[in-house]
Amino acid sequence: MGKTLCVTGAAGYIGSWLVKCLLQSGHTVHATLRDPENAAKAGHLLSLPGAKERLRLFMADLSEDGSFDAAISGCEGVFHLAMPLLFHSQNPEEEIFEPAIRGTLNVLKACVKAKSVRRVVYTSSISTVSAIGEDGKRIQTVDETFWVSVDHVKAQKPNGWMYIVAKTLAEKEALKFAREHNIDMVTIIPVTVAGKFLTSTVPSSVRVLMSPVTGDTEYYELAKAVELRLGCLALAHIEDICNAHMFLMDHQQQIAGERYICCAHSCSISNLRCLLSRHPDLKENSRENVQDQDGECLVQVSSKKLMDLGFQYKHGIEEIFNDSIQSWKTITSGIISN
């Protein structure tokens, strides 16, 4: 029999696909959005198979205390994906970092109140993981134990640094709160997620994947920043990401407080361009905006810990690219040739 499960941040890329997968598996889903009445945000959820019978939308805002109480009440499990996505601020401490922590704690407090919640799967980010050891040298195989240094990130201010700090601080506070309140919580660390998408706009992670040939300077700079920081671009198919979320929710082994990277492939920007060049229907627009960056992958991002639990990836790198391009074609003009 299906469970009643809550998905916060259900309008996003991973959130919407996770709702789809949960409905397909026979579960009842409580999905939170800031504006459930917004057709652009909620329409793709309401049209999913099984939505009419087993999907309930709830308005919830991370900044409001108690906002998630109704959605989480009666749920057996909670997938917490919602996160404020501000990348620029003159006052990041008050406008980005504190709201990220407060929003996460609001969700976990609702889990305590509900009393029905048996497990929380917290969605982190590969941005919380570092490829640089304490000795300052690059690590060849990166796993969940290598946290980024918030102080170092604040000092260096790499591209996307505010997001990196916000995600790291929020996860650490979430783990602390879960320990103190005896919440069975496990963290999943997605890498760059690509493949099919349900949203009406192209997800940021897919734009990053495609940037070496689209000439999208903003997202190409993000790709370069990730490769510089991590030593590679780590990839996973959206369906594998969602399957890993559900796997961790259902796994019987005592894994509370653990972190699990979900990564199927590690590659370089050069590898991306080579793979994308196999698709002759892609136009390489505005290539003057991006500089060729040769080199092989310097680091492998390890998903061994997750796989040791029994998780298996179903999608290869070709599927990641093919599905991303196919979805891209359906809503993007001027970048894909006719």
Cα distance between residue 313 and residue 191, in whole Å: 14
Structure tokens at 330: 């359906």
- Tell me which residue of 269, 272, 198, 266 sits closest to 238, measured CA to CA: 198
Cα distance between residue 53 and residue 215, in whole Å: 43
Asked whether the beta carbons of 188 and 260 are under 8 A apart, the reply is yes
Asked whether the beta carbons of 55 and 31 are under 8 A apart, the reply is yes
**What are the φ and ψ backbone dihedral angles of 194, each rounded to 5 degrees?**
-145, 180
Residue 154 bears catalytic tag? no
Q: What value, to the nearest 5°, has the Cα angle with vertex 165 and ends 208 and 311?
A: 60
Cα distance between residue 249 and residue 119, in whole Å: 7
- Tell me which residue of 295, 289, 297 sits closest to 220, measured CA to CA: 289
Q: Which residues contact 198 (CB under 8 A, 6 or more apart)?
A: 16, 17, 20, 44, 45, 48
- Tell me which residue of 114, 83, 125 sits closest to 100, measured CA to CA: 83
Classify residue 136 as exposed, middle or buried by CB count within 10 Å of its CB (0-12, 13-18, 19+). Answer: exposed
Catalytic option among 20, 41, 167, 196: 167
Query: Which DSSP letter does residue 86 get?
Result: -
Asked whether the beta carbons of 191 and 125 are under 8 A apart, the reply is no
- Hey, what amino acid is at 131? A
Q: CA end-to-end span of the chain, whole Å?
A: 46
Asked whether the beta carbons of 335 and 283 are under 8 A apart, the reply is yes
Give me the residue label for tokens 């399957």: 243
Structure tokens at 231: 């030593």
Residues that are catalytic: 167
